[in-house]
Amino acid sequence: MEEPPHRADQAGRAESGERIAAAALELRDVTFTYRDAERPALRGVSLIVPPEQSLIIMGAGGAGKSTLCRLANGLIPHFQKGQLKGEVRVFGRDSRAHPVHELARQVGLVFQDFESQLFSTSVELEAAFGPENLGRPRAEIGERIAEALELTGLTGMERRAPATLSGGEKQRVAIASVLACRPRLLVLDEPTTDLDPEGKRQVLGIARRLREQAPGAAPTVMMVEHETEEAIQFARAMVMREGEVAYDGPTRELLAQPRFMEEHGIRPQPAAALFAKLGEEARPIEDTEALSQLAALGYRLDARRWEELAANDARRARYGDVTIEVRSLSHDYDGLPALEGVDLAIREGEFVAILGQNGSGKTTLVKHFNGLMLPRRGEVRVGGAETRRQTAVELSREVGYVFQNPDHQIFAETVRDEVGFGPRNFGLPTDEIERRVTDSLAAVGLEGYEEGDPFSLTKGERQRVAVASALATRPRALILDEPTTGLDYRQNRGMMELLRRLNEGGHTIIIVTHAMWVAAEYAHRAVVLSRGRVLLDGPMREAMGRLDLLAQAHLAPPQAVRLGAALGGVTLSVEELARRLVKQGHT
């Protein structure tokens, strides 16, 4: 039985026994309702963030995390209008009484969408922008730029154009431009959500570096973050739910409550979840603790249960004929090789995960499956016919492609028109189109949404509409590029369960993903790309067992896999690991 969630009163007090310095951020019974909204985004929230603390804020989408961030620098209520009750103080000053540009001297805010935050043509000028607005003298601006670029690891890239940088680098430039203002409070609203693992590492590294600065120099850091496995580096954690604070206290204690986290739409820490499933009291967080606890309690992997898992694997591996075939595929961009001699065959009914870091060629590969790209050398066959001999339009009937950002395709006035777009393009009769729309919406769990406005749906719903649109073309295979990026844990699970259901119903599913735990738990087969070549291609269990090759491809296996590997077996999820562990002396 888990402990009920608790609020830590002590979390707000400064550690020294001296006079308490003005809190970096203080909210007193704050309720905020956006203009034109039915429900308040924040409800009676009170909190105190002392200077130099670092705090992680977690919670499902729509919980009020972004609202909280925007209260911190005055964007609410000055820029985003609404009804604000209660008091918000930033280093002692009432945010209502000070315009945003004044609060900007003390508070920096970094947003999730890095593209929209950058508007200069060089990294240097981007970093100069903030101090320029603050009227700092030229020489000082130069110093601030150098300092900010050093903190974000961008020294030497002053003259680079942000448009030529990777997502992670762009976000770092955005952070640098905020750090150049020397804020005493740095607020980051989901800075890593749209980034690949490398980008996430870089940004979280910045947070670490900031904390390591001398006392007095380190800013207070508040970060909204979904990556549970990174939470431990923050001393204090807050969980929000439907506008209220559901938890506020030490991070370790939160991570020790996997069920609580799951109920609040956050991915539980795998090690803690494992111990909960085993029925043990302990709640280790990191690999080393978990392994030593398992050893101390006498757990080992049971060989017999391994046979059960193997049988399961075999049962689900009943696939049909080859539906997509790739032979010696090579592709390049203006002479820069993207794919080299790739061979691949995907059968009907498979669930394949294409893995690899940014630049490995994953997206280039799958764009060959629906004719968006044609091979420079080698061939790609869909349903036996070469893609070279067909147009992308023709291939769209065979292979459906769901892009990472559903907002890049939603355009219609009703969900019906949106989902029916594909069939309409094929010139199908109206009643057939209607039937497909209904079926596709049912398949994604959006029955009855036909008349709705696609633009007003939540991100998760829009993603499902995008999947439904692809399903309506009744393709033989469905490709999804990063189906879970930008979704919170709950939406993530929802999407993956949907894909599992579709696959069990006979659809061939191909996902390109960075989320290793998602791939491990759901996909049957892994194709790992590195620098344009296939490094590994086989059943997921085999692939996750090759830690050496995964490391070569710069991929980090999820914790459940790492723990299993340390114990001598390949386990693809916390469930599996829990099922395979037995205590010494038991059978």
Partner 1 sequence: MQASVYLDRGTFFHRLDPRAKLAGLVAFFVIALAFNHPGYAAGAWAAVLVAGAASRSLINLWRMRGLLGLLFVFAAVLWPFFAKGPTPLLHLGPISASRESLLYGLAVGLRLSAMVAAGMVFMSTTMVEEFAHGLRRLGLPYAVSFALAAAVRLVPTFLGSSAAVVEAQKSRGLDLESGHLFARLRKHIPVLVPVLVTAIRSTDLTAMALESKGFGAHHQRSYYLELRMRIADWVWVALALGGAGAAVYARLHGWGEVLPRL
Residue from 91, 247, 260, 421 in contact with partner 1 (CB under 8 A): 421
When asked if residue 439 is in the footprint of partner 1 (CB under 8 A), the reply is no
Q: What is the DSSP annotation of 399-442?
A: EEEE-S-GGGT---SSHHHHHTHHHHHTT--HHHHHHHHHHHHH
Whole-number Å distance between alpha carbons of 130 and 128: 6
> Considering beta carbons, is residue 105 or 252 the nearer one to partner 1?
105
Interface with partner 1, residue 354, by CB under 8 A: no
308 closest CA partner among 547, 515, 116, 580: 580
Using CB under 8 A as the binding rule, whether residue 102 contacts partner 1 is answered as yes
Four-point Cα dihedral 144, 145, 147, 153, nearest 10: 160
**Residues between 180 and 209 with contacts to partner 1, criterion CB under 8 A:** 181
Provide, rounded to whole angstroms, the least separation between the CB of residue 459 and partner 1.
12
Does 570 sit near partner 1 (CB under 8 A)?
no
Q: Taking the complex as a whole, how short is the minimal distance between the CB of residue 8 and partner 1, in angstroms? A: 30
Selected range binding partner 1 among 16-24, 281-289, 397-405, 572-580, rule: CB under 8 A: 397-405
Give the CA dihedral 24, 26, 31, 36, nearest 10 degrees: -20
The β-bridge partners of 247 are 239
Nearer to partner 1, 363 or 559 (CB): 363
Of these, 33, 117, 152, 364, which contacts partner 1 (CB under 8 A)? Answer: 117
Backbone Cα Rg of the chain: 25
Chain positions 43 to 72 lying near partner 1, rule: CB under 8 A, are 70
Q: Which stretch binds partner 1 (CB under 8 A): 57-65, 228-236, 254-262, 420-428?
A: 420-428
Does position 539 interact with partner 1 (CB under 8 A)? The reply is: no
> Is the four-CA dihedral 443, 445, 450, 452 of positive or negative sign?
negative
118 lines the binding site for partner 1 (CB under 8 A): yes
Is 379 a binding residue for partner 1 by CB under 8 A? The answer is no
Residues 460-479 that bind partner 1 (CB under 8 A): 469-470, 473
Q: Which one of residues 410, 516, 550, 581 is an interface residue with partner 1 (CB under 8 A)?
A: 410
Which of 28, 81, 85, 101 touches partner 1 by CB under 8 A? 101
Q: Which of 1, 97, 163, 214 binds partner 1 (CB under 8 A)?
A: 163
**How far is residue 15 CA from its own chain's centroid?**
34
Strands 185-189 and 42-49: unpaired
- Name the H helices within 317-414: 362-367, 392-395
Q: Using CA atoms, how far apart are residues 184 and 322, in angstroms rounded to an integer?
A: 59
C-alpha closest to that of 576 among 586, 564, 559, 562: 564
Could you say whether residue 459 binds partner 1 (CB under 8 A)? no
Q: Which is nearer to partner 1, 8 or 392 (CB)?
A: 392
Asked if 583 interacts with partner 1 (CB under 8 A), we say no
DSSP H/E element including 220:
strand 220-224
By CB under 8 A, the residues from 260 to 289 that bind partner 1 are none
Q: How many positions of this chain bind partner 1 (CB under 8 A)?
A: 74
Q: Which helix (H) or strand (E) segment is 520 a member of?
A: helix 516-522
User: Cα 372 from chain centroid?
Assistant: 26
Token pair 């069990």 in the structure block, residue: 504
Stretch of 139-147, 314-322, 381-389, 565-573 contacting partner 1, by CB under 8 A: 139-147
With beta carbons less than 8 A apart as the criterion, state whether 272 and 283 touch: yes
Given 49, 109, 290, 529, the residue binding partner 1 (CB under 8 A): 109
Q: In this complex, which beta carbon is closest to partner 1, that of residue 119 or of residue 259?
A: 119
One DSSP character per residue, 224-271 reads E---GGGGGGSSEEEEEETTEEEEEEEHHHHHT-HHHHHHTT-PPPHH
- Looking at beta carbons only, is 375 or 564 nearer to partner 1? 375
16 counts as binding partner 1 under rule CB under 8 A: no
> Residue 128 or residue 195: which is nearer to partner 1 going by CB?
128
Cβ closest to partner 1, residue 277 vs residue 424: 424
Span of 29-37, 52-60, 138-146, 228-236 interacting with partner 1 by CB under 8 A: 138-146
> How is residue 258 written in tokens?
């996997």
